[in-house]
Amino acid sequence: MDDLFKKHQYLTKASFSLIYAIMVSLAMNIFWTPGHIYSSGYTGFAQLLNTITSRYFPVTISTSLALFIINIPMFILAWRHIGHQFTFFTFLSVLLASIMMRVIHPLPLTTDPMICAIFGGVINGFGTGWALKNQISTGGLDILGIVIRRKTGKTIGTVNIIFNSFIIVAAGFAYGWPYAFYSAIGLFVNGKMIDMAYTRQQRMQVMIVTSRPKMVIDSIQNHLRRGITIVHGAEGAYYHDKKTILFTAISLYEMNELEEALSESDSKAFATVTSSTKIIGHFYEPKR
């Protein structure tokens, strides 16, 4: 059964890698390239290398080939410091993206730079965030972003925006400064879409009022790896029955598991979940 589960898990991750590859290729060939918009991260850097080699060198390096080459150091970094399985699926995602950029031919629906910047950012940002949500790295700044997020608490979308400021400058020199501003809009949209889709980094504060604290605690800790603070001596205002208040913090990604735990242990429990701006202290996160 364990082998079957692992095979299913690997197949699922490979499917998400393919979905990401298709989405970044659609964003590149339908919106970014026709609109002269630079993407974020290493994809944008690959576009920049393509522009430079096509203008100033006798041999042009395609965006798809450049994307794979510049990610090789990231494969090594991930292999040494994150994990072998993580590295394999990162390699697969980048390889599939490079292939799909060649397979999916450009289909310019519009050359309007504003439309291309916004819709390219939406498609790529959602694909990247969805991949990260399912524990798949898309290479490049994703790896650096994960490390920086753990150290500083910055969201991956914010890290992408900060690191990609030089892409905006490159777009200005390559296509003119109006296109730099369009690329900036695309980068902002891309970063916000990553934050929306990558729910693992969205942290929530949970307060639970229950008359069955032990059952609720056991159920939550069976579903989630989360600490819980217990406040005894609470009282219900209507029936004046004894209650216990439980406090914990989770990621938005874990919301379904929390709801399952409460449904199993105390269906009459009262719970409120609010977005947490910042968490100080240890907050467990999976390594990948």
* pLDDT tens for each residue of 172-209: 888 888 989 999 999 889 888 887 877 666 788 999 99
* Percent over 90 (pLDDT), the chain: 40
Closest-CA residue to 186 (of 17, 46, 35, 29):
35
What pLDDT does residue 154 have?
64
State the architecture of 202-275 in CATH terms: 2-Layer Sandwich (3.30)
Which of 24-28, 136-140, 217-221 is the least confident region?
136-140
0.85 surpassed by pTM: no
Say which residue the tokens 């003119």 belong to: 176
What pLDDT does residue 203 have?
83
Residue boundaries of the structural domains of the chain: 2-199, 202-275
**pLDDT category of residue 40 using cuts at 50, 70 and 90:** confident
What pLDDT does residue 220 have?
92
* pLDDT tens for each residue of 76-112: 877 877 778 888 988 999 999 999 999 988 777 888 9
DSSP labels, the chain: -HHHHHHHHHHHHHHHHHHHHHHHHHIIIIIIHHHT---SHHHHHHHHHHHHHHHHSSSPPPHHHHHHHHTHHHHHHHHHHT-HHHHHHHHHHHHHHHHHHHHS----S---HHHHHHHHHHHHHHHHHHHHHTT---STHHHHHHHHHHHH---HHHHHHHHTHHHHHHHHHHH-HHHHHHHHHHHHHHHHHHHHH-GGG-EEEEEEEES-HHHHHHHHHHH-----EEEEEEE-TTT--EEEEEEEEEEGGGHHHHHHHHHHH-TT-EEEEEE-S---S-------
What pLDDT does residue 157 have?
60
Mean of the pLDDT values across residues 152-163? 66
Distance (Å, whole) CA 204 – CA 286: 16
* pLDDT tops 60 at residue 73: yes
**pLDDT category of residue 284 using cuts at 50, 70 and 90:** confident
What pLDDT does residue 207 have?
95
* pLDDT tops 90 at residue 228: yes
Mean pLDDT of the chain: 85
